[in-house]
Amino acid sequence: MSKFDEMKKIRDELFDFKESPFYEDRVSEGYFPVIGEGSHDAKIMFIGEAPGANEAKTGRPFCGASGKVLDELLSHIGVDRKAVYVTNIVKDRPPNNRDPKPSEIELYAPFLDRQINIIQPNVIATLGRFSMEYVMKRLGLGDQLETISNAHGKVFEVKTDFGAVHIVPLYHPAVAVYNRTQLPSLKKDFEILKKFMK
């Protein structure tokens, strides 16, 4: 099965994911699941937490205010957004943009695990603490977990079934939406990713 077909299978399953606590809200609000976007051969995979209202209305990840910051950060390091893959752990919008609960992360995580195995990135850049915690624990780095204020911009290397992968925890772009003075710090962290695009 091609990467495209495998991703399409995930998409079809998520559209029909009645086990989700968000399914009824999604149908009544006319929202979409947000599967992910970008190259299926991406060297860098960005993983956020859960979609917001703009994302759920369009089915596209990071298309609101946080997405504009993400685009600005990618532009800063000269990387085309189409060259990376962007997704979230939770694929449906939690009510009122609240943080995802551990049970919700657990429910959606198998879809993300499959996406990682399809794309087989060189780098997983986690956006925010929920994503950082899930990915680091999932890939055997739980004993190295720190607060995101300490971990952001560090590089961790793990061995996976498809080879070595670097994990780079990053602040969520929303940080700079609420406080533009944080943008230089985010840009500095993103510069670490540039070397992995060669």
CATH code at position 176:
3.40.470.10
pLDDT at 176: 92
Which amino acid is residue 159, in one-letter code? K
pLDDT at 114: 98
Which amino acid is residue 79, in one-letter code? V
Beta strands 37-38; 156-160: pairing state: unpaired
Give me the residues of the chain with pLDDT under 70, please. Answer: 198
Burial 119-153 (b: 16+ CB within 10 A, else e): bbbebbbbbbbbbbbbbbebbebeeeeeebeebbb
pLDDT at 82: 96
pLDDT at 147: 95
Domain carrying residue 88: 3-197
| pTM score | 0.96
Q: Any bridge partners for residue 127, and if so which?
A: 170
Which positions ≥6 away from 102 have C-beta within 8 Å? none
Total domains in the fold of the chain: 1
pLDDT at 197: 78
Three-state DSSP class for residue 191: helix
How many C-beta atoms lie closer than 10 Å to residue 50's C-beta?
26
pLDDT at 31: 96
pLDDT at 20: 97
pLDDT at 103: 96
